A and B are shown apart, each in its own frame.
Chain A
Amino acid sequence: MQTVKMVISGAVNAGKTEFIKTISEIEVVSTERRATDDTRLIKKETTVAMDFGRIAISDDLVLHLFGTPGQKRFDFMWEILAEGMLGLVILVDSTRPETFRETNRIIDFFVSYRDTPYVIAANKQDRPNAWSPEELRLALRQPPHIKVLPCTATDRESVKNVLLELLYVIQERSED
């Protein structure tokens, strides 16, 4: 059985857990705990370890989805999760510009030392005052060739679209 891995990352409350829950075939293995630091101002429970989801591709191939912990003190987990990943989805809460700097830090961590295929998912596009994908591209200073995609993490079609767009990027780099 071959397994491949995609990582879903983003700042606290960007929607990583929801994103994986929406598409995973198994019940997502989440380690949600009551938040103990300033994240409790944003949500009552937050991911302190990680989320894990799974999609069976065929009898001999499985796709694993890992959501990274959002809090800074769990940064050490990122290195472990990044090892051998197929690609990366960076989720951004489009309604909270206060998280854009943290998002840039995450992108920098995952992308600067590795030639990682990644896309940015502009989550919560269904909310009022969501910044558009193009505005997020400017705010996050992403070059034109990086895909910044509209996303609603609770909507299966939207999540599928983000994963497919990432797979197209991976496909371009893959061998015949």
Chain B
Amino acid sequence: MALVGNIRDFSLSDFLSLVDRGYKTGALHLSYNDQTARLYFEKGKLLLAARRPEDEKPELLVRLGVLNADQLAQACRMLAARGNGATLSQVVIDAGMVSTERLQSALMGHTEQSVYGLFAWPEGDFLFEHNQRPAPDAPLAPVPISIDHLIMEGVRRIDEWERIRDRIPSTDLVPRFLAPPGEKLKGMRLSPDEWKVFARINGRDTLAEIAQKTGLSDFDVCRAVYGFLTAGMLELVKRQRVLAAGMPPVEQPRLKKSLVNRIINRIRSM
């Protein structure tokens, strides 16, 4: 079933994060006023971002200077002859018309710019169609693009406290890595300020203390941390919980198993 909503309520960064963590395959359709966009994903990675219908057509490779018109016509004939789930990108690489690196670089640049523009939309309806795939002759990135750094880029463009406060209600919270961040970091391109914040995260200092130690504003620290949170690298905990490590924060009343079993049996019999 399709996922529908509005990026005003569930931001594009949040949606990209969901696609990434859920290894989703499908197409995200976006519309805002008279603008539309379509993003195709495979197992959580981006294959293609089209701001205009022409961006899904093979002629994009000519516009980007990857192929000339004759090469494209030849590639399209070869693709039609090959069939069997082949893609245009595979055909042009196999035929030696362009290297994988050159094709990847051109399409990745185009795709990233297309997505960056979407972060400027203040709102817009979205619909995610599971398992919808692009046409075989669509200009797909030969290596699906990791979206971690796209998430960070989206977060960089947030200029309002309100959205950040939804996830980071207080600067007294302590950021803590969920796991060693090595793998996640590979796909990300951090700014110098984000590196400063990243390097100060030790599971003990609060956001306010990190701001003090880095000389950055609370907003800049929280925005960077919001990005790490959205990319699924961090959790925020309250300091009390950190100080009392190994102990439950507030002792819940311990119930007797027999009492719980009585309630279970009663509910089952209803």
Q: Chain A interface (Cβ within 8 Å of chain B)?
A: 2, 4, 23, 55-58, 61, 63, 84, 86, 97-98, 100-101, 104-105, 108, 112-117, 128-132, 134-135, 138-139, 141, 156, 160, 163-164, 167-168, 170-171, 173-176
Tell me the nearest residue of chain B to A117, going by C-beta.
B252
Binds A, one of B14-22, B32-40, B96-104: B14-22
Determine whether the beta carbon of B257 is less than 8 Å from that of A171: yes
Q: Chain B interface (Cβ within 8 Å of chain A)?
A: 1-6, 8-10, 14, 17-18, 21-22, 166-167, 169, 232, 237-238, 240-241, 248-257, 259-264, 266-268, 270
Determine whether the beta carbon of A55 is less than 8 Å from that of B267: yes
Give min CB distance, B208 to chain A, whole Å: 18
Determine whether the beta carbon of A112 is less than 8 Å from that of B241: yes
Determine whether the beta carbon of A160 is less than 8 Å from that of B267: yes
Q: Looking at the complex, which one of A57, A98, A100, A112 makes contact with B238 (CB distance below 8 Å)? A: A112
Determine whether the beta carbon of A104 is less than 8 Å from that of B256: no
Tell me the nearest residue of chain A to B127, going by C-beta.
A129
Measured in the bound complex, the distance between the Cα atoms of B255 and A116 in whole Å is 13
A-B contact pairs, 29 of them (CB 8 A): A4-B255, A4-B259, A23-B270, A55-B267, A57-B262, A86-B255, A97-B4, A97-B9, A98-B5, A98-B10, A100-B10, A101-B166, A104-B166, A105-B166, A113-B249, A114-B250, A114-B252, A115-B252, A116-B252, A117-B252, A135-B3, A138-B22, A139-B18, A167-B260, A167-B263, A173-B252, A174-B257, A175-B256, A175-B257
